[in-house]
Amino acid sequence: MADSHPPLADLRIIESSLLGPAALTTSFADLGAEVIKVESPAGDYIREMTWPIIEGVSLMHYHLNRGKKSIVLDLKTEEGKAVYKDLVKDADVVVETMRPGALAKLGLGFEDLREVNPEIVFINISGYGATGPYQRMPSHGIAYDTWSGAVTPAYDEEGFCYIPEHVSVGIAAAPFVGGLAMLAGVLRARETGVGCEMELGQSDAAAFFDWYRIESHMAYARPEDVVTGNKADNYKRRPVATAGMKAGVRYQLYESADGHVLFMASEQAFWKNFCAGVDRLDLFEKWPGSKYADHAPGNRELQAELRDIFKTRTSQEWLGFSAEQNTPIAPVNTSANIIEDPQFQARFRILPHEEHGADMLAFPVHFSGEELPTPSRAPTVGEHTEEVLKDVLGYPQSRIDALRNAGAIGPDGDGEQ
């Protein structure tokens, strides 16, 4: 049953955002926080950015701004600034997802806002952060993946360089790194009565998520008698991180009868279980391997044997074998077909397009005995302006009318997507 008091029900976030960095607060809204997205009269043009476009509105907007309220404020007007400060008085967090200092130029930076709320937590999330030689450079999401080394340039058949398909790291990593810091700031503010200011570059988050490769390179820069490879490899260094997987045999991708599976029997016990399960203990006797982390790198003879064995069963049959024989074998899905995977179907709740504009993955953490609230559809520009002014700030209708006449909240309270 749905819990009447979601985990973050008593958290209020005022968000001044443009484009992808709005992801910083999406999970907070999923967890029940009140996220009030302050938009200019023109609105956040995320609604028109990138593909797919669903009935005139981008999937990016539907996903990143779901569960939020939209209020229009013209922060170039004194009346609009006054309303913004009123919103901050009883808020926990202010999120600025644009170049650092944008709100400060309007007189709404951290130093200004802490005067009306000493406990406010202020976080800026930008492309490259508030310091360093790249801080003023304009950028988009993939820049943080190329900057961090997560993307390897590819070339087409005509020799032109292009961006290969890849997981978007920076724009996905930043919300989790920044969100953790936001909660830490709120916890401390509630304990001490003192807020804080923090900032994060999406590029920072991309590099932080790729720590294993980056730190492995740093480790390998040290002397070889200090930093070595695995015991199973006779301490010889392999290529860094997952690049060292290419030569693996007992830890490798194999073609099944109808697709592919990932074989991961690098521990000797798992390897023996596999060999016994396929009635090929001769393979174990010939190549028993080491106790741990032995991928049998470069053993083409064994790899040929395994290649032929894995082609004899379907992927699902190998997954059943994995559970029965206690040897690790995993499915190999794509972003297109993962929704058909039974484990995915058992774990993920889909927010349907009929209600949310697009089919989307719900927040993935499961709270025992509870159901998280279903987020509302991503708002139109200023959809909740009057609601926020009345219900959150307690403004009478006369003041709302005055704000509208002054041009501080746009011409009406219900904008367009």
Q: Would you say the pTM of this structure is higher than 0.85? A: yes
Location of structure tokens 């990932």: 262
- Dihedral angle at the C-alpha atoms of 33, 175, 200, 39, nearest 10 degrees? -60
| pLDDT score, position 416 | 55
Distance CA 303, CA 265 (A): 13
Location of structure tokens 């009447």: 4
| pLDDT score, position 1 | 43
What does R_g of the chain's alpha carbons equal in angstroms?
26
156: helix, strand or coil: coil
Domain ranges of the chain: 12-209+349-406, 244-332
Q: Residues near 229 by Cβ (< 8 Å), separated by ≥ 6?
A: 235, 236, 237, 238
Q: What string of pLDDT tens digits covers the 417 residues of the chain?
A: 445 789 999 999 999 999 999 999 999 999 999 999 999 999 999 999 989 999 999 999 999 999 999 999 999 999 999 999 999 999 999 999 988 999 999 999 999 999 999 999 999 999 999 999 999 888 888 999 999 999 999 999 999 998 999 989 988 999 999 999 999 999 999 999 999 999 999 999 999 999 999 999 999 999 999 999 989 888 999 888 888 889 999 999 999 999 999 999 999 999 999 999 999 999 999 999 999 999 999 999 999 999 999 999 999 999 999 999 999 999 999 899 999 999 999 999 999 999 999 999 999 999 888 889 999 999 999 999 999 999 999 999 999 999 999 999 987 644 555
| E strands present in 55-120 | 57-58, 69-72, 93-97
| pLDDT score, position 242 | 83
- CATH value of 12-209+349-406 in 3.40.50.180, 3.40.50.300, 3.40.50.10540, 3.40.50.720: 3.40.50.10540
Sign of CA dihedral 289, 295, 300, 306: positive
Cα 125-153-143 angle, rounded to 5 deg: 15
283: helix, strand or coil: helix
What are the φ and ψ backbone dihedral angles of 364, each rounded to 5 degrees?
Answer: -85, -10
| pLDDT score, position 412 | 60
262: helix, strand or coil: strand
CATH number of 244-332: 3.30.1540.10
Q: Which of 287, 288, 295, 286 is nearest to 328 (CA)?
A: 295
